[in-house]
Chain A
Amino acid sequence: MIKIENLEKVYKTEEIETTALNGINLHVKAGEFVSIMGPSGCGKSTLLNVMGLLDKPESGSYKFIDTELLTLNDKERSNFRKRNMGFVFQNFNLIDELTVFENIELPLIYNKVPTVERKRLVNEIIGRMNIVNRSGHFPQQLSGGQQQRVAVARALVTKPKLVLADEPTGNLDSTHGNEVMELLCELNETGTTIVMVTHSSHDASFSNRIINLKDGHVISEKINKGKTEELI
């Protein structure tokens, strides 16, 4: 589904240039669950942001089911993103001024889903996430685990083809972290492709494939046997 070739990304600041991605090649099949690991600053987040069309690389190619995405203009990128992708962040990134329900509803609004349909979809996902009695609360009133579940719900509500998660458990204790990982696995089992950045090999063990980055390029790739067989 995803074919990334020779991706390069350089950050220029006044003093220095940082090569964050240095010729990345990466293929992801539909329905795969890929983990990206590597030391801090090796370019994991940058890669994920490029995949999510939040950032533009200097060169390379990024094909999503035969569509070249790097040549799209701002508007097309934003349209493509809202139809096909969902995001989960380490720091949840919920809007404090909106309730749980409204936070989850937001991507549907931007996708111009009709109101009735919107309510149905949001209620459905709230039920699945086990946060029904929280739907009128504000993010500040929830625990970290609950907040991240809301964020996952928000990422899923549009039924995206690809979910990108940047250290989704980074701010959570292990119990809550596992809950979130189980959610992602369930999601993956229903056919959604997931690319996740993580520091934890425990979390990575949930995925089909683990990719190791260092200094902006892929240094190794490991198939997670147990998982892949399961998948087959």
Chain B
Amino acid sequence: MFKLNLKIALRNLWKYKGYTAINVFGLSIGLASCILIFIFVRYQLSFDKDYVNGDRIYRVVTSWKYTDGNEFSSSGTPLPLPAVFRNDFSQFEKVAAIQQSGGIIKAKAQVGKAEVKDSESVFYAEPSFFEIFNYEWLSGNPNQSLSAPNTVVLSEKTANKYFGDWHKALGNSINLDASKDFKVTGVIKDNPQNSSFPLEIIFSYASFNDRNMKEWGSVSSGSECYVLLKNGVALSDLAKPLAQHLNKYENDKDAPGKVNHTFQPLEDIHHNEDYGNFAQKNTPYNQIIGLGIIGLFLLVTACINFVNLATAQAISRSKEVGVRKVMGSPRNQLIWQFLSETAIITIIALLLACVFAELTLPKMENLFGGDVSFSLFGHPIIFVFLFGLLVFVSFLAGLYPALIMSGFSPALAIKNKVAANAGGVGLRKTLVVVQFAITAILIVSTLVVIKQMSFIREKSLGFDTEAITIVDLPGDSLSQLKYNSFKEKLLAVNGIKTISFNAGAPSSGSNNETSFTYNSSKSADFQISVKSGDEEYFKTFGLTILAGKAFTKSDTTKEFVVNETLLKKLNIMKPEDAIGKIMKIWGSSGPIVGVVKDFNNYSLHEAIAPIAIFSRKTRYSTVAIKLDTKEVASAMKNIESTFNSTFPDYVYESNFLDENLKGFYETEQIMGTLFKVFASVVIFISFIGLFGLISFVATQRTKEIAIRKVLGASNLELVKMLNSSFLWMVLIANLVAWPVAYIFVSNWLSTFQYRTELNVWPFVIAMIASMGITVITVSLRSYRAAKVNTIDALKYE
């Protein structure tokens, strides 16, 4: 019996080749997209999941609440905190400090291997870090390898890079910043891609020194602290000891903000944008959910095609049903028969989908700039997912048609007298409306995303970004002595307009906030963002001075330039009024000599901060060079050779400012692209579904069309007639979609402090576009139906 049913199923699919093809194609494209989304989401959710004690690992993070209502948070802790926590908290099994830093790493030339020198991101970690996080050690172990000062543990990859083979690394040493040597005492296995801990070079924490080592009031986001809770300890158990701790150590009455610490679960680190992480990869849950919704949309649209075409076909299959019933086939057997037909189509579609997905995976990897490699069957869970898809789609798409068809009355069915709307014209219309509502929502969303992204690209940030290259500078005191001669040499290079030494561009990833005083001896009740740079800073970045002037040349802090936002926060009406007032920041006081027009110092997600700019040579870490756009290439070459001759022990690294700024929106860019692609897929599926449906309707109405023609209808009138019902559905779909789309996009836009105005156009365009494509799709097909030979259509009953 099963074999017979299978035969009938396959013959039926073959008989309606056109619809089968549309079904299978639409479904497989939808399924392929779902598979890609699944692979992506699985990857994102797999971050930091491989640690044995993962559910007991927490990061201690810090936040400040200011009296003006602002909040500020950091992934770091004060440097003395880890040791104190280890002592005072009985709830912790382990506490570990880890410090992120950077530097020039050099390994001496060896037999058969030249000297290797590179600028690297490095860490200082306590041995307990590796007791909290279980890494695979190829050689050494946490306590032996990381207890003593001047020891270092390398990842397999890095050890191979510096020593050719990691075995040779052991016992050898590497040099940091041309000053200190570190002995390699251990090698760990490479980190997987899905890790928030890109640990390649780990120095013992005992080698770490910082002037804030005893400071409670200063927090750097690179100084992180991890704790491993004892078994059975709940987060709520920590509230009391934490309050006691804050009271005892971090209760500075003079500080502008109120400090607090939070224990952030390990699994939250990859997804919480508030704090960031060492790997600088963040995928917030709402983006993952957004993709999941698109995936669901894809499935639903593809299934709707299926239901529509299957129920539309139901009438032509009524006779088969009638005969089967007369021969005694029970209803549930018929249901299974139709469901298995759907399952067969789904299996075919799934196989095709796997091929499509495999073909597009490299494209998805490109999105991540090659950082990630995806494979279709790399994780066995994909098979569970595929099976789930099969069951889900078979039931979603197959059950309703199966119920309809198996429910035909045999007497009517056998006479082919099943009413024309037996297949559920009403339901079919509803489904088309749902499908096109989804389509409209995605068109609106895609348009808004595109608009916002171009807004970001085009919005003036208040400073120049074009043809400015930022070159990293070595920060040790010896190198600082060479800054002036470096500048002299650069000024001789052709194509360089201005040069400014500074501690960061007007907008960059690193922002320093600190307390300050204005015209008083008391700290203001909010913090100020500080930028240090030399007197050329304003000219190089094209900042506009509104009142006063730029500060004069100085190596130390003597004068300040502030921005408009600061004045607003201090309730100063006229920029001129601020000139001459005395400020104190980082222990240096001096007059305000200029007010600069506001510029965006963060990404456009955030508002402009109050800012003070001043010179302080010891802080400079980069040099910004404004180039003549016509001579960029040659100038860059000369800059590099000048750098290498001036700082032979260091590694030249430069970035263009506009590229750096683009990096702020990397996640948005990736999500935006995924969004656009998958939205187009949904739109495509909807329209081939529409094409299938109109084809069916046209076939079904051939006779009616012919009669109307005999009675004098012109082709145009017939095309109009067939269009009108579909246009109504699409119109209603758009109206349904508008409020939903509005909620989606206004929510997304609200994550940007600076955003494009949300006007009616995306909605109108979505409507015009969807109705336009509907008219084209329906007209193409119905014109063919109208042209069909009238007599042939009328002759046969």
Contact = CB atoms under 8 A, between A and B. Distances in A.
B707 to A, nearest CB: 5
B425 to A, nearest CB: 10
B711 A110 contact: yes
A82 B710 CA distance: 8
Question: Which of B711, B794, B795 is most buried by chain A, counting CB atoms within 10 A of its CB?
Answer: B711
Contacts of A45: 791, 795
B791 A110 contact: no
A93 interface: yes
Nearest to A81: B712
B617 to A, nearest CB: 87
B708 to A, nearest CB: 7
Contacts of B791: 45, 49, 54-55
B708 A110 contact: yes
Interface string B703-729: 110111111111101000000000000
A110 B709 CA distance: 9
B790 A106 contact: no
Nearest to B713: A110
B797 interface: yes
A141 to B, nearest CB: 12
Contact of A82 (B703, B711, B715, B790): B711
Interface in B222-264: none
A117 interface: no
Contacts of B706: 93
Contact of B703 (A52, A93, A106): A93
Nearest to B708: A106
Given A54-B791, A96-B420, A97-B704, A91 B710 contact: no
A69 to B, nearest CB: 15
B790 A93 contact: no
Interface in B96-111: none
Contacts of A89: 794
A159 to B, nearest CB: 14
Given A91-B797, A110-B717, A82 B712 contact: yes
Nearest to A55: B791
B744 to A, nearest CB: 39
A168 interface: no
Given A54-B790, A93-B794, A106 B714 contact: no
B710 A54 contact: yes
Interface string A87-103: 10101011111000000
A57 interface: no
Contacts of A82: 711-712
A87 B710 contact: yes
A154 B711 contact: yes
A71 interface: no
Nearest to B717: A110
Interface in A54-80: 54-55, 74-75, 78-79
Interface size class, chain B:
10 to 19
Interface string A107-129: 10011000000000000000000
B704 A95 contact: yes
Nearest to A151: B707
Contacts of B707: 93-95
A82 B704 CA distance: 16
B147 to A, nearest CB: 88
Interface string B464-475: 000000000000
A74 B718 CA distance: 14
Interface in B759-797: 790-791, 794-795, 797
A10 to B, nearest CB: 15
Contacts of B420: 96-97
A170 to B, nearest CB: 12
Contact of A107 (B712, B715, B790, B794): B712
A97 B421 CA distance: 10
A78 B703 contact: no
A75 to B, nearest CB: 6
A90 B108 CA distance: 102
A39 B791 CA distance: 20
Contact of B711 (A49, A79, A106): A106
Contacts of A49: 791
A205 B708 CA distance: 32
Given A89-B794, A96-B420, A97-B420, A111 B712 contact: yes
A78 B712 contact: yes
A194 B794 CA distance: 21
Given A55-B791, A89-B794, A96-B420, A78 B709 contact: yes
Contacts of B717: 110
Contacts of A78: 709, 712-714
Interface string B512-548: 0000000000000000000000000000000000000
A49 B791 CA distance: 8
Contacts of A110: 708, 711-714, 717
A83 B717 CA distance: 16
A3 to B, nearest CB: 23
Nearest to A89: B794
Contacts of A94: 707
Nearest to A110: B712
Closest 5 CB pairs of A and B: A82-B712, A110-B712, A107-B711, A95-B704, A93-B707
24 contacts: A45-B791, A45-B795, A52-B710, A54-B710, A54-B791, A78-B713, A81-B710, A81-B712, A83-B712, A87-B710, A89-B794, A93-B703, A93-B707, A94-B707, A95-B707, A95-B708, A97-B704, A106-B708, A106-B711, A110-B708, A110-B711, A110-B713, A110-B717, A111-B712
Interface of A: 45, 49, 52, 54-55, 74-75, 78-79, 81-83, 87, 89, 91, 93-97, 106-107, 110-111, 154
Given A55-B791, A81-B710, A107-B712, 9 more contacts: A54-B710, A54-B790, A78-B713, A78-B714, A93-B707, A93-B710, A106-B711, A110-B717, A111-B712
